[in-house]
A and B are shown apart, each in its own frame.
Chain A
């Protein structure tokens, strides 16, 4: 009963091959000359020409810079704000704590992804339309990160605080020297989830940007594939692989951490 049958193995493999088929197909097209994009011949010569053409046809370098700056900025602010807030929730008793926590949890229900119209209006008032800051602002305070860290901080024994306090450390030092190091796996988990979420995020950046200056990769790719290229599939798939490349390579290298992070982040 413990061993999977041959049929299981066969079906599992069939599904897996089906699952990566679109990717394999894209890799084939991107690395071959256009005349082979829909014809499969084993002796077709490999080429990087499609990548070169895609790179030259649109400001992908700028898009990369934008996306990397964006995910870094969002993650950094999220971690700092969430750490402070989670520490307050986990270790302080104060009036209005339950209400404050409920107000934080509201964001899990009403995500910034939906409040497009009002957030656009706010950004317009602040004069931030078409800036990286505008893309990031609605995500800076992450209810999810606060929730996750609060959970972790509450599990840390209070004796550790007291020991540190006896040594003369103040609250901030305790947070930095005791809590943050212990919660490290949670930080990694959240970081991976946050980076892949914002690397991939599309709708809000699409709405709030209107020039190359602030456009992240996802929006750049959409503009590129819908306007500039007609149906040159070799170039489009090359651009597609290029934009997901860093994430895909990171995933293949750190598979275990990725899987564990998504797991940890999901199971509250």
Chain B
């Protein structure tokens, strides 16, 4: 079986790809996708640590991952609704062009 560090490295790589995307992309939807990737990387860590824990029968990591998936779904729904409203108002989904609150 693959050692725990393999899963942790994949998760770290996924997190940093999401971070790079969220920091550099112009489109607000792509920023949201980057955040989703980071959330999924965290979920992979929960599952990997659960599987390699001393008492996996307590199922704590599984429960945390399930709740995290549900919250991420709610976050995606609200976030995309906000992006659609911003698009309707500013006629763009480019985060650089939305500067109504710029000081």
Answer yes or no: are A and B bound together in one complex. no
